Amino acid sequence: MKAVLKKKSVAIPLMVLCIVLAVLVGMNVSFARQRGEIVQRYYNTGIQQELDLRIEAANSLVGLAEGQGVEESLVQQVKDDIEALRSASSPSDQFDANGVLSGSVTGLAEKTSGDETFLQEFQTAQQAIQQSDYNRQAEAYNEARTTFPVSVLRWALFSGPLEEFR
C-alpha cells in the first residue's frame, strides 16, 4: 500500500482530493458557525427577546383593559394578535405579526385610561427592535454566500441563507 501511495500518479490526485475536501469542510464549518452565532443573537439577546417584552406588555395592557370593561372585541383582537406573534415561526412571519399587534395594541391603549407604563414598555421594545443590527448581519451573511469562491462551491454549502426580519 505504501508503495502505491508513493507513486506520483496516485499521490497527486489524492493530495488534490484532500485539499478540495479540506476547503469544502472548512467553508461549511465557517458558514455554519457564523450562521449559528447570528441566529443565537436573534433568539437569545436580540429581536426575539424584544418581541417577548412586547407580548408581555400587550398582555398587561389586556389585563388593564379587561379591568376597565373595554369593549370585548378590542381585547379579543389583541389576544388573537398576541397568539399570532407567539406562533410565528420565522423572522418574516414575526415581523408581520408584530406589525399587526402594534396596530391592535395602539387601538386598545386609546380605549384604556390611567397608567401608560405598558404602552411605553411596548413602544420601547419596538425601538430596540428597530435599532437591532440583525438584518444587517443577515444581509452580510447572505451576501457572503454569493461571492467568489463560495458562489462557485455553493452546491456544497449546507448552511442555508438567513431570513431577514422584514
Alpha-carbon distance 91 to 166, whole Å? 7
Alpha-carbon distance 129 to 94, whole Å? 12
Average pLDDT, the chain: 92
Output 77 or 4, whichever has higher pLDDT. Answer: 77
Give burial (CB, 10 Å; 0-12/13-18/19+) of 122.
Answer: buried
Confidence of residue 60 (pLDDT cuts 50, 70, 90): very high
pLDDT digits (tens, 9 = 90+) for 11-50: 888 899 999 888 888 888 999 999 999 999 999 989 999 9
Q: Does the pLDDT at position 95 exceed 80?
A: yes
Confidence of residue 1 (pLDDT cuts 50, 70, 90): low
Average pLDDT over residues 82-104: 97
Residue whose grid cell is 386609546: 110
Alpha-carbon distance 40 to 48, whole Å? 10
Instruction: Concatenate the DSSP letters of all residues of 99-153 into one string.
Output: HHHHHHHHHHHHH--S--HHHHHHHHHHHHHHH--HHHHHHHHHHHTTSTTHHHH
Q: Does the pLDDT at position 114 exceed 80?
A: no
Longest dimension (CA), the chain: 89
Element (H, E) at 78: helix 72-87
Average pLDDT over residues 140-158: 85
Could you tell me the pTM of the whole model?
Answer: 0.84
Helix (H) and strand (E) counts in the chain: 8, 0
Report pLDDT for 5. 67
